[in-house]
Chain A
Amino acid sequence: MLAQLLFVLISAAAIWLFARNVKKIRRNILLGKDIDRSDAPAERWKTMAMVALGQSKMMKRPVAGFFHILIYVGFVIINIEVLEIVIDGIFGSHRILSFAGGLYNFLIGSFEVLALGVLSACIIFLIRRNIIHLKRFSGTEMKGWPVSDANYILIAEILLMTAFLTMNAADYKLQALGVSHYVKAGSFPISAALASILPDNITALEVIERVCWWFHIVGIFAFLNYIPYSKHFHILLAFPNTWYSNLNNKGKLTNMASVTNEVKAMLDPSFTPPADATPGRFGAKDVTDLTWVNLMNAYSCTECGRCTSNCPANMTGKLLSPRKIMMDTRDRLEEVGNNIDKHGKDYQDGKTLLGDYITAEELWACTTCNACTESCPVNIDPLSIIVELRRYLVMEESNAPASINNMFGNIENNQAPWKYSPTDRINWINQ
């Protein structure tokens, strides 16, 4: 009875805490500017089904893609078992769903195979990160917390799966010994092999089974509450992130409406801008100048580095890393969010995304080639953030490289980016 009460209390606390942190992230994301991404719902559902649910972009890198799908499928399906564990925890029952008989045995058996799959994949991922030192997981932004974060996630999953299999092994042995509480149910293709290393003493087995049961479920609740602080939040945001992703041709940049009004007024003096037009800032200096989709992108990033490893600027040694752009955006947004919590919503800390996190040199290295947006497995768009920050640099600060300013001057004066006379435009005919 005490165990049941404790279980209910722990579950309630875990869920309450998780909901609170998710709400905070939602509040942070909504600090971004509004953008309408509700068009073409059918295509959006399809994109989400293909890219997030179907992991269609993951297999571009077959090794990582295969093991990631193993963990993903394992994670989703083993959650059915967690449902039973929660019911058992509340009612003090044991394997309450075992009435399903053959189906139950099949499910438990599959969970075991999947658990072994998850366990192996996590070990392989740890080896790739810490022993092979894959280049994709290095870079200036991959120091300290991002490295630990990745390892914590993998270690947590290994511990959870180990506890799960050990719990089953003890259960299997207790069932075989005919201990009354342990109903004969389930099939244990993996943990049966583990059973031989466990003691034969019933009390010891009961202790092992209970300890692993508690470790597993409390571990899951703890992990749940780790996710909002971690890059692992992608397991939730991958879905809305793909649903709200850009469906236009990748080459299309937004036309700024605020600029359209000014240009129209310039070309036609009789033009009066609409009353609701707010001048504001041109481009983005801080995270709150970006759209909420940009900000959701930042929370969806799991720092896999496919964008950066395909970025032509990054691979030729330039400072730009699209992954860093996303991580900086999230870090700055968390900082802005914490400031609001501590000092109220109008607090200014004197810092901005541009300057304190992202430098002009990074921005000017971008070729706008869309390799980053193409390679992102959850359709994150670092390019739109880069362009917004460039817009601020150019239109608010007139801070462009001299050669770029020359190009602007040529377009203004000669209608071409080079210094040629407009009358020479037809010289090619007689060349």
Chain B
Amino acid sequence: MNQLHIKTMADYMAAGEEPEILFWVGCAGSFDERAQKITRAVATILTNMGIKFAILGTEESCTGDPAKRAGNEFLFQMMAMTNIEVLNAYNIKKIVTACPHCFNTLKNEYPGLGGTYEVIHHSQLIQQLIDEGKLKIENGEAFKGKKITYHDPCYLGRANGVYEAPRAVIEQLDAELTEMKRCRTNGLCCGAGGAQMFKEPEKGNKDINIERTEEALALKPDVIAVSCPFCMTMIRDGVKLAEKETEVQVLDIAEIATKANGWS
């Protein structure tokens, strides 16, 4: 792995500087072993594009999203107000995050509690870099002739109407983007939202991630693309259970962008 030099907000402040953008890593991106790779991919893109960015580092806390969705509004607002205090103290204007759950909460639920920022998802940042001609991924040999399907995360798609940005990355490749029947507004949840990530599913006859992975695998893709660390866990579990992990890769949009550029 290439060495990443990541600065925190505290570093910038000590140097009397301000970054262009804050990279909100999120808990999954910080602690989950698989999601850490996505975090590194996003950081690599930011670094290689010469964008001045910072993380909060140990000053970052859970946004409170899983608590709020589970009904614990107290805990959510405690977390939100503490985070807003930190963000406002650093005079943050713009945030990019690789987690649609953090994205949704920061974008929609923080303004009402005093935290108003321009919040974008990493797929939107990547699309913007492509549109500006800064990020080129059309020479992506790694994906030449591959069949890729994209799974819409609920909190990026239906919750915030972001459907095209993640697809824009795949469309740049010399690969075939094939859609599942349940996509975009009809996308099927991976099963992790609404705090389900942190509990066993209720009694039923099938797990939601199996239902979704079966739909994706039926297309016989080489890659299932995701853009949410929770979807990553759920779809990977589904692929493993179907014993397809040697044939089918599950990759985040950011990882596709870095692999296409030979950065990882």
Interface residues, chain A, with chain B CB atoms under 8 Å away: 60, 248-253, 255-256, 259-260, 262-264, 266-267, 282-283, 310, 312-313, 315-320, 361, 364-371, 374, 387, 390-395, 400-401, 403-404, 406-408, 411-412, 415-418, 420, 422-429, 431
Contact = CB atoms under 8 A, between A and B. Distances in A.
A428 B25 contact: yes
B39 interface: yes
Given A318-B203, A403-B198, A417 B160 contact: no
B140 interface: no
Contacts of A422: 58, 61
Interface string B51-87: 0000101101110101111111111011101100000
Interface stretch (B127-135, B188-196, B242-250): B188-196
30 contacts: A249-B107, A251-B108, A252-B108, A253-B68, A255-B73, A260-B113, A313-B208, A316-B201, A317-B203, A319-B202, A365-B204, A367-B196, A369-B154, A369-B193, A387-B69, A392-B71, A393-B71, A395-B73, A407-B70, A415-B79, A416-B61, A420-B30, A425-B58, A425-B60, A426-B8, A426-B55, A427-B31, A428-B39, A429-B40, A431-B36
A255 B201 CA distance: 27
Interface string B188-223: 110111111111111111111001100000000000
Given A249-B159, A424-B31, A364 B202 contact: yes
Contact of B204 (A317, A401, A406): A317
Nearest to A360: B202
B220 to A, nearest CB: 23
Nearest to B195: A404
A423 B109 CA distance: 27
A389 to B, nearest CB: 8
Contacts of A367: 154, 189, 191-194, 196, 208
Contacts of A425: 25, 30-31, 57-58, 60
Given A367-B154, A408-B70, A415-B62, A361 B202 contact: yes
Nearest to B204: A317
Contacts of B69: 253, 368, 387
Given A313-B208, A361-B202, A422-B58, A428 B108 contact: no
For A394, A408, A417, which residue has the most chain B Cβ atoms within 10 angstroms?
A417
B104 interface: yes
Q: Which 4 pairs show the lowest CB-CB distances between chains A and B?
A: A251-B159, A368-B194, A317-B205, A390-B71
B77 A387 contact: no
Interface string B164-192: 00000000000000000000011011011
Given A367-B154, A403-B199, A264 B74 contact: no
Given A249-B159, A368-B154, A400-B71, 14 more contacts: A249-B107, A249-B108, A249-B160, A251-B158, A256-B73, A260-B113, A364-B199, A365-B204, A369-B189, A374-B185, A407-B70, A425-B31, A428-B30, A429-B4
Given A370-B158, A394-B70, A316 B55 contact: no
B66 to A, nearest CB: 5
A259 B74 contact: yes
A407 B49 CA distance: 37
A411 B108 contact: no
A113 to B, nearest CB: 34
Contacts of B198: 403-404, 406-407, 417
B201 A408 contact: no
A428 B77 contact: no
Interface string B126-161: 000000000000000000000000000011001111
Nearest to A282: B73
Nearest to B57: A426
A387 B193 contact: no
Nearest to A261: B77
B72 A408 contact: yes
Contacts of A249: 104, 107-108, 159-161
B6 interface: yes
Interface residues of B, number: 73
Nearest to A424: B31
Contacts of B108: 248-249, 251-252
Interface in B15-53: 25, 27, 29-31, 33, 36-37, 39-40, 43
B191 to A, nearest CB: 6
A249 B190 CA distance: 20
Interface string B1-14: 10010101000000
A320 B195 CA distance: 16
Contacts of B211: 312, 315-316
A411 B195 contact: no
Contacts of A361: 202-203
A255 B40 contact: no
Contacts of B67: 407-408, 411
A391 B71 contact: yes
A80 B134 CA distance: 62
Contacts of A391: 71, 73
For A403, A404, A411, A415, which residue has the most chain B Cβ atoms within 10 angstroms?
A411
Nearest to A419: B31
A284 B113 CA distance: 22
A264 B189 contact: no
A259 B78 CA distance: 10
Nearest to A383: B194
Contacts of B208: 312-313, 316, 367
B246 to A, nearest CB: 23
Contact of B112 (A255, A368, A404, A411): A255
Nearest to A422: B58
For B64, B74, B191, B212, which residue has the most chain A Cβ atoms within 10 angstroms?
B74
A423 B155 CA distance: 28
Contacts of B205: 316-317
A108 B246 CA distance: 68
A253 B197 CA distance: 19
A406 B72 CA distance: 13
Given A250-B159, A423-B58, A317 B73 contact: no
Nearest to B210: A316
A428 B38 CA distance: 10
B17 to A, nearest CB: 20
